[in-house]
């Protein structure tokens, strides 16, 4: 069984926790706050959501990053090497500072998580939309996935389907992935697009 953790327990982290709870899929949640501080909110979402320390959370096979962009480097320090882990970047950076030198923000995140397989996903929907049931009349809410490692995208797509979403693969971070990244002061064209896919 794959194990999952959400690092960051603000609006997006809680929205994702609700998606896991809805399908009764176990997920660990962690943030800068202590597990004791997070526990009441985690319990109120559902029994599948368990608050732990960051150190314990990063033991999971798949870690979803839902922290403010500036905090990802601190999270990356939790392990000396992320080999064997999949990191899902659910963060958005806006406006994009010039020091990124034209790189998509996820490419910068990938450098911090040495050895990890990085997939951009679950970032283009507003938290309230992400928290809502993704199964709608005759279809499922779309989540866009992109990454430079094709093998990493497949299990994340499988997770998205388990959670009730319709995964749509955009390809590499600097190609189709550019549609879900901000550049400068311009949002990517697919950010905040609430789309549905009919049953196949």
For residue 170, what pLDDT is reported?
96
> What global pTM score does this model have?
0.96
Question: Quick one: tokens of 53?
Answer: 């320390």
For residue 199, what pLDDT is reported?
66
Backbone angles phi, psi at 49, to 5 degrees: -105, 120
Mean pLDDT, residues 75-79 taken together: 96
The predicted-structure confidence for 155-176, as pLDDT tens digits, reads as follows: 999 999 999 999 999 999 999 9
For residue 183, what pLDDT is reported?
86
The SS3 call for residue 89 is: strand
For residue 66, what pLDDT is reported?
98
- Rounded to whole angstroms, the Cα distance separating 60 from 140 reads 27
Backbone angles phi, psi at 169, to 5 degrees: -85, 130
Tell me which of 14-23, 24-33, 90-99 is least confident.
90-99
Q: What is the largest distance, in Å, between two alpha-carbon atoms of the chain?
A: 45
Provide the Cα torsion 109, 114, 115, 117; round to 10°: -10
């Amino acid at each position: 069984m794959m194990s999952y953790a959400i690092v960051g327990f603000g609006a997006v982290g809680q929205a994702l926790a609700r998606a896991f709870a809805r399908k009764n899929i176990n997920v660990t949640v962690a943030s800068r706050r202590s597990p004791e501080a997070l526990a009441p909110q985690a319990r109120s979402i559902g029994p599948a959501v368990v608050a732990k320390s960051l150190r314990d959370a990063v033991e999971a096979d798949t870690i979803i990053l839902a922290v403010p962009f500036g905090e990802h480097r601190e999270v990356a320090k939790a392990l000396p090497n992320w080999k064997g882990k999949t990191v899902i970047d659910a963060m958005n950076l806006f406006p994009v500072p010039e020091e990124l030198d034209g790189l998509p923000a996820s490419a910068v995140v990938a450098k911090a998580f040495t050895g990890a397989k990085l997939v951009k996903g679950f970032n283009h929907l507003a938290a309230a939309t992400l928290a809502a049931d993704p199964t709608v009349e005759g279809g499922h809410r779309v989540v866009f996935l992109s990454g430079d490692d094709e093998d990493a995208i497949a299990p994340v797509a499988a997770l998205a389907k388990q959670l009730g979403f319709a995964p749509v693969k955009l390809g590499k971070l600097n190609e189709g992935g550019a549609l879900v990244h901000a550049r400068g002061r311009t949002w990517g064209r697919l950010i905040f697009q609430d789309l549905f896919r009919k049953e196949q």
